[in-house]
Structure 1
Amino acid sequence: MDHRAMVRLSKRMSLALRHEPARFGLAPDRAGWVPVDDLLAALRIDRVDLDAVVAGNDKQRFAVERGADGAERIRANQGHSIPVDLGLTPSAPPARLYHGTSRVALDSIRATGLHRAGRHHVHLSPDVATARRVGARRAGELVVLTVDAAAMARDGHAFYRSANGVWLTDAVPARYLAD
């Protein structure tokens, strides 16, 4: 599968698993899992293509595992706008985390901080390179913000680390941000 086809399929899988499963006739369980066979049928794709996207996605957006019933299932690691319980437990973050965004959003972020919008959490990167890669998806000039995660944690903000290494929190107040 070429890169463009992989990106297109990854976006469809994200839509089906993170945002609009009902549109595809899918019914995720409480933790966001759906049977792999159901996703293959809903998207009309084969297992080879699904495996290529899961293995080849640079952000490791998806997880596949065998459920207690022996059937394989898949879910998105984070970024859901539908109710899911990812089973995340609070973790002590590194001293600094990073968030890539566009310069046009900077004034608003400086005034009000980072908010989860329609998702469950704000997504933060463990390093500048990852934040740049994530932020590059946004239009306009890229800016990488530094989050004083150590101070946030000391002040009682909870952090979670998803299966693919993305750090999650409910919000980042502006006072913890530097650019």
Structure 2
Amino acid sequence: MKNTAKKSKYLSLLLRHQPEAIGLVLDNEGWASVEELLLKINRTSFSLSFNELKEIVASNSKKRFSFSTNQTKIRANQGHSIRRIELGLEKTQAPEFLYHGTVVDFLDAIRKEGLSKMSRNHVHLSTERSTANQVGSRRGKPVILKVNARRMQREGYDFYLSDNGVWLTDFVPAAFIEFPNNTK
């Protein structure tokens, strides 16, 4: 398939952030009609067939997208900046530690204010340092923060696990974050 990465990024933009760019309607759980999505994407400079869409969903390394069981609907698994999207995730027992990738430029603010969801619906965390490293490296030299998720949960904070394995929470206070020593 031509331009798979480009089409996947465009799909991510539409399903996570700007469905209105093509007049796409998402329901409150983030689902869009596959038929409507394909019709409206194909009115733009992108062309996308159902088979290409299935390939993007199946091959996306971050498992960003899911089909409904009958493949008539599609949604992004997490990462929405659209406020009204509620993925219907259930509270889940968090592992002892989770990781978050960032860069040095944000550390002072994180030390003062903790990790905020910013324009997204949740703070994103991972069980693997390598994943956090990848996320942090998108903006420069990565810094990996260790979050004491189990302690947070004991103190009343909720955690959710998205369909693609990303851990989500509303906020991480600085008191639950272990900062690397060499990042002043």
State the match for 1:30 in structure 2. 28
Structure 1 gaps of 5+ residues are: none
SS in 2 for 1:163: coil
Q: How far, CA to CA, are the matches of 2:165 and 2:177 in structure 1? A: 20
State the match for 1:160 in structure 2. 160
What's the CA shift string for 1:80-127, capped at 9, x where partnerless? 111112111111100000001112111211121100011111000111
State the match for 1:81 in structure 2. 81
Q: How far, CA to CA, are the matches of 1:71 and 1:52 in structure 2? A: 13
In the alignment, residue 129 of structure 1 is paired with which amino acid?
A: S
CA contact (8 A) 1:114 1:174 kept: yes
State the match for 1:125 in structure 2. 126
SS in 1 for 2:138: coil
In the alignment, residue 112 of structure 1 is paired with which amino acid?
A: E
Equivalent residue pairs, number: 173
CA contact (8 A) 1:98 1:124 kept: yes
Corresponding position: 1:63 with 2:66: yes
Q: How far, CA to CA, are the matches of 1:37 and 1:102 in structure 2? A: 40
Q: How far, CA to CA, are the matches of 2:134 and 2:4 in structure 1? A: 17
Task: Give the Å deviation of 1:161.
Answer: 0.6
Q: How far, CA to CA, are the matches of 1:128 and 1:135 in structure 2? A: 10
In the alignment, residue 166 of structure 1 is paired with which amino acid?
A: V
CA contact (8 A) 1:113 1:174 kept: yes
Structure 2 gaps of 5+ residues are: 43-47, 180-184
State the match for 2:99 in structure 1. 98
Give aligned-pair identity as a percent: 47
CA contact (8 A) 1:35 1:71 kept: no
